[in-house]
A and B are shown apart, each in its own frame.
Chain A
Amino acid sequence: MTPSYVSTRNPCKLCAPFGATLAFLGLEGCIPLLHGSQGCSTYIRRYMIGHFREPVDVASSNFHEQAAIFGGKSNLAEAIFNVVKQYQPRVIGIATTCLAETIGDDVGMILRELSSKAGNVDLPALVHASTPSYHGCDAEGYHAAIRAMVDQLAGNQPGADHLALFPGMLSSEDLRYLRDLVEDFELPVIMLSDYADRLDGPTWDTFHRIPKGGTPLEQLYRLGGARTCLELTSIYEPARTGGGLLADRFGVRHVRLPMPIGVKLTDRFTRELEAISGRSLPYRHAAERGRLIDSYVDAHKYVFDKRAVLFGHEDLVVSLSAFLAEVGMIPALIASGGGNAGRLRRAVLSAAPELEGHTRILGGVDFAEIEEAAVQVQADLLIGSSNGYRLSRQLGVPLVRVGLPIHDRLGAARVMHVGYRGTQQLFDRIVNALLEARQDGDPTGYTHM
Chain B
Amino acid sequence: MNNDMIDILEDRKDQIHRTGAAPYAMDCQKRSLAGSVSQRACVFCGSRVVLYPITDALHLVHGPVGCAAYTWDIRGALSSGPELHRLSFSTDLREKDVIYGGEKKLYAALTELIAEYHPQAAFIYSTCIVGLIGDDVQAVARKVERETGIPVIPVQSEGFRGTKSTGYKAACDALSRLVGTGPTHHLPDHSINIIGEFNLAGEAWILRRYYERMGVHVAATLTGDGRVNDIRSCHGVKLNVVQCSGSMMHIAKWMKDTYGIPFIRASYFGIEDVSRALYDVAEFFGDDTVVERTRDLVRQEVKAILPQLSLWRSALEGRKAAIYTGGAFKAFSLVRSLRTLGVKTVIVGSQTGNQEDYELLRELCDEGTVLIDDTNPLELQKFIRETGADLLIGGVKERPIAHKLGLGFCDHNHERKLPLAGFEGMVHFGREVYASLQSPVWHLTYRSSGPCKEVS
Say whether A99 contacts B37, CB under 8 Å: no
Whether, in the assembled complex, B105 has its beta carbon less than 8 Å from a beta carbon of chain A, the answer is yes
Say whether B37 contacts A57, CB under 8 Å: yes
Say whether B160 contacts A207, CB under 8 Å: no
Q: Which of A39, A80, A209 has the most CB of B within 10 A?
A: A39
Cβ distance B201 to chain A, nearest Cβ, rounded Å? 16
Say whether B92 contacts A203, CB under 8 Å: no
Say whether B456 contacts A82, CB under 8 Å: no
> Which segment of B107-115, B276-284, B428-436 sits at the interface?
B107-115
Cα distance A410–B159 when bound, in Å?
32
Residue of A38, A57, A387 near B377 (CB, 8 A) is A57
Whether, in the assembled complex, B38 has its beta carbon less than 8 Å from a beta carbon of chain A, the answer is yes
| Residues of B contacting A2 in the complex (Cβ-Cβ under 8 angstroms) | 112, 116
Whether, in the assembled complex, A75 has its beta carbon less than 8 Å from a beta carbon of chain B, the answer is yes
Cβ distance B125 to chain A, nearest Cβ, rounded Å? 12
Say whether B109 contacts A6, CB under 8 Å: yes
Cα distance A40–B89 when bound, in Å?
18
Whether, in the assembled complex, B42 has its beta carbon less than 8 Å from a beta carbon of chain A, the answer is yes
Cα distance A46–B37 when bound, in Å?
12
Cα distance A132–B98 when bound, in Å?
11
Cβ distance B187 to chain A, nearest Cβ, rounded Å? 36
| Residues of B contacting A39 in the complex (Cβ-Cβ under 8 angstroms) | 41-45, 67, 159
Cα distance A274–B92 when bound, in Å?
45
Whether, in the assembled complex, B299 has its beta carbon less than 8 Å from a beta carbon of chain A, the answer is no
Say whether A43 contacts B71, CB under 8 Å: yes
With A7-B89, A53-B400 known as contacts, the answer to whether A43 contacts B66 (CB < 8 A) is: yes
A contact residues, total (Cβ < 8 Å): 75
| Residues of A contacting B397 in the complex (Cβ-Cβ under 8 angstroms) | 42, 45-46, 49
| Residues of A contacting B70 in the complex (Cβ-Cβ under 8 angstroms) | 14, 43-44, 46-47
Whether, in the assembled complex, B378 has its beta carbon less than 8 Å from a beta carbon of chain A, the answer is yes
| Residues of A contacting B455 in the complex (Cβ-Cβ under 8 angstroms) | 206-207, 209
Whether, in the assembled complex, B93 has its beta carbon less than 8 Å from a beta carbon of chain A, the answer is yes
Chain B residue nearest to A387 (CB atoms) is B72
Whether, in the assembled complex, A428 has its beta carbon less than 8 Å from a beta carbon of chain B, the answer is no
Say whether A11 contacts B90, CB under 8 Å: yes
- A 119-152 contacts with B by CB, 8 A: 132-135, 137
Cα distance A203–B141 when bound, in Å?
51
Say whether B456 contacts A208, CB under 8 Å: yes
Cα distance A37–B163 when bound, in Å?
10
Whether, in the assembled complex, B369 has its beta carbon less than 8 Å from a beta carbon of chain A, the answer is no
Q: Which of A15, A53, A201 has the most CB of B within 10 A?
A: A15
Say whether B128 contacts A36, CB under 8 Å: yes
Q: List 6 A-B contacts (CB under 8 A).
A: A15-B64, A46-B396, A54-B400, A82-B34, A86-B9, A207-B452
Enumerate chain A interface residues (CB-CB to B < 8 A). 2, 4-11, 13-15, 17-18, 33, 36-47, 49-50, 53-65, 67-68, 75-76, 78-83, 85-87, 97-99, 102-103, 132-135, 137, 201, 203-209, 211, 387
Enumerate chain B interface residues (CB-CB to A < 8 A). 6-7, 9, 11, 31-45, 60, 63-72, 87-95, 97-98, 105, 108-109, 112-113, 116, 127-129, 131-133, 159-163, 376-378, 381, 385, 396-397, 399-401, 403-406, 445-447, 452-456
